[in-house]
Chains A and B, each alone.
Chain A
């Protein structure tokens, strides 16, 4: 689904990512962990194609196609969706309008999607204007549910979200990623899981979201290098106990 090869990225003339390799297969969820400033956001913003993030070396492939030089909207139309960590305020555009734009002409039940994320009262407010951190996260997810991308990039979806809403958020992400499967007649869960098409790359600093969304593989990013990949729960436990300093040892 997503393949990143030897990717080097500069932001404001300074190299932030120093040769990232990553392979995210169809139907899988990968978690990206690491301390602040390690380059997690840079990595997913580069996958989405934002102009501030300059690829100086390496390629990005999505569904087998080289997308390294494609503009943002073409990547979105190919099926990449991003939930921003700090989305900008857009005055004069109502959140409802934006959610409709996300659907790209398809029929979507905006009310139902918003209802699921306890977000209905925000639909008629300007995009992100006066939203709290948690409200922005829910807004981002409502938009993604309307967009329904094949590859979902989530940048710290849980930060700033209160306890009351975090399980709502977890449930919505699982639905977005076809992870809310129930056994049906004729097919086992195992078979259903094998049919999943949605993939995700989730940035998490605290790991809280992984209590709600099962990740298949975890990575640790330190100073622009992936230093480790493996079982996400195990990585998280190590970090909780010994901090990212322990991971930094592998950088040497």
Chain B
């Protein structure tokens, strides 16, 4: 039995948010159940993984990263814990660090504060899964990411919540010169309500941010998710892409690009697919140019699956359900994210379920 299997019984819950219980292709694991850190270990030279509480105690420099990428909000109250992950200068671990924020107590309020630092020339991939075994609860996830000069942070986040869980993440990202921040976000079970609007500040020349979101909303769910990038230095690049599928739930897909310096390029794309009556998709793309020399574009489209495409695949021998599932899967475009297989299977299951329900 692996460490994780011993620590938490609900393995199925972990698998579906991309946590690898055998830690085979991971260089470290952080696991928080309710308000307690149950696992926190790394086996990679040059990568620090601590609980945020511990980091603030033992690392004097950790305090410098608290409330710098986000404005402090006293109304949130004291956080319980969270993770502090740092890739030291030039370190490029081959495998990702995984983390899981788990809620197993009915009606609890989980409040974490996470800090990730990628130092100069380092590269780090984090896969984080947030999930609950209970129906009801509140999850407040505050995250601050710092990508230093020439560093690269790839952050994959998967949300799969119980039906009545409310989630309010706050995320701030600061990217320095030639740094790269990539966010892949998959929300398969939004619970009752998710509201988030992560914001990246590209402060150094040549910095890049890319946000990709895959949003699925079942009836009764409200997903209000956006991404915002301030392009504050010349030659910075940003891309925000969201794919929303409503199976009867409400999705508000926002995006906001603010070009403040010359020679920036940014693109925003929101595509929505309404699979069932009663659903709602509201695409809100915003572009804000504050200088003459910039190039910012957006495209948005909301609609249903074209019958023509379904029948095209049927002419190749697929049933209507198979064709629809293939098109939805393609639309969500999760393949480019390089997700773990268990996660892809979970997504396929949701798509198939929706097909059966619509019969």
Contact = CB atoms under 8 A, between A and B. Distances in A.
Nearest to B333: A92
B192 to A, nearest CB: 29
23 contacts: A48-B315, A72-B311, A72-B314, A73-B314, A73-B315, A73-B317, A73-B318, A73-B320, A77-B317, A81-B315, A84-B315, A88-B306, A88-B309, A90-B312, A90-B313, A92-B331, A92-B335, A93-B326, A93-B330, A101-B317, A102-B316, A104-B317, A143-B316
B353 interface: no
Contacts of A113: none
A98 interface: yes
B319 interface: yes
A250 to B, nearest CB: 33
A75 B311 CA distance: 12
A90 B320 CA distance: 15
* Most A Cβ at <10 Å: residue of B306, B308, B314, B329: B314
Interface in B293-327: 306-309, 311-320, 323, 326-327
* Most B Cβ at <10 Å: residue of A76, A81, A92, A104: A92
B100 interface: no
A157 to B, nearest CB: 15
B312 A88 contact: yes
B81 to A, nearest CB: 38
A160 interface: no
A20 B27 CA distance: 68
B336 to A, nearest CB: 9
A22 to B, nearest CB: 20
**Secondary structure call for the B interface:** helix
B332 interface: yes
Interface in A41-92: 48, 50-52, 71-73, 76-77, 81-82, 84, 87-88, 90-92
* Most A Cβ at <10 Å: residue of B306, B307, B313, B317: B317
A147 interface: yes
Interface string A95-107: 0001001101000
Ordered nearest first, which 9 A-B pairs have the shortest CB separation? A92-B330, A72-B314, A93-B330, A73-B314, A76-B317, A92-B333, A102-B316, A104-B317, A88-B309
Contacts of B319: 73
Contact of B331 (A82, A87, A91): A91
A191 to B, nearest CB: 32
Contacts of A104: 317
A93 B323 CA distance: 11
Contact of A76 (B315, B329, B330, B335): B315
Interface string B321-349: 00100110111110100000000000000
Contact of A98 (B306, B316, B329): B316
Interface of B: 306-309, 311-320, 323, 326-327, 329-333, 335
Given A92-B332, A92-B335, A101 B311 contact: no
Nearest to B329: A92
B264 to A, nearest CB: 26
Contacts of A90: 309, 312-313, 327, 330
A147 B317 CA distance: 9
A101 B313 contact: yes
B317 to A, nearest CB: 4
Contacts of B314: 71-73, 76
B299 to A, nearest CB: 13
Interface in A107-121: none
Contacts of A88: 306, 308-309, 312
Contacts of A48: 315
Contacts of A52: 307
Contacts of B326: 93, 101
Nearest to B319: A73
B312 to A, nearest CB: 5
B56 to A, nearest CB: 43
A106 to B, nearest CB: 11
Given A73-B319, A91-B331, 11 more contacts: A51-B311, A52-B307, A72-B314, A76-B314, A88-B309, A90-B313, A90-B330, A92-B329, A93-B327, A98-B316, A143-B316
A52 B308 CA distance: 9
B326 to A, nearest CB: 6
Given A73-B320, A77-B317, A147-B317, A91 B330 contact: yes
Contacts of B311: 50-51, 72
A88 to B, nearest CB: 5
Contacts of A81: 315
A50 B330 CA distance: 22
A50 B323 CA distance: 14
Contacts of A87: 312
A173 B351 CA distance: 37
B351 to A, nearest CB: 12
A12 to B, nearest CB: 14
Contacts of B317: 73, 76-77, 101-102, 104, 147
B288 to A, nearest CB: 28
A16 to B, nearest CB: 17
